[in-house]
Amino acid sequence: MTIILKPETEQLVQEQLQSGHFRSVDEMIVEGVQARLEGKSLSREPRRKTPAEAVAHIRELRKGNQLPAGVSINDLINEGRA
């Protein structure tokens, strides 16, 4: 069976797959249909990450976050107290 999606729907599907909420398009469709038949919401608990995945995610979030030249953590702490 071939299914044609609107571009915004395809983007939503890709985002859900990349976020780890679903492992496949098939899983997404099956859970969506089951939820609809049961009258449930389509939201679900996010997949728990392994420690290695969590560390990789934190490192990715930290990329580009650097202190300005000549500024230390203590400088920022003291600025927050002022």
Asked if residue 1 is part of any domain, the answer here is no
Domain tally, the chain: 1
Average pLDDT score over residue span 15-29:
90
- Say which residues have a Cβ less than 8 Å from residue 51's Cβ, sequence separation at least 6: none
Q: Using an 8 Å Cβ cutoff, are 31 and 44 in contact?
A: yes
Six-digit token string for 72:
């230390």
pLDDT tens-digit series, residues 32-79: 888 888 876 555 566 788 999 999 988 888 887 888 889 988 998 988
Question: Which token pair is 71?
Answer: 């500024």
| Position 40 in a domain | yes
pTM: 0.43
Domain interval for residue 43: 7-81
Residue 82 has pLDDT above 80, yes or no: no
DSSP 40: -
Sign of CA dihedral 61, 64, 66, 68: negative
Q: Of 71, 73, 53, 70, nearest to 61 (Cα)?
A: 53
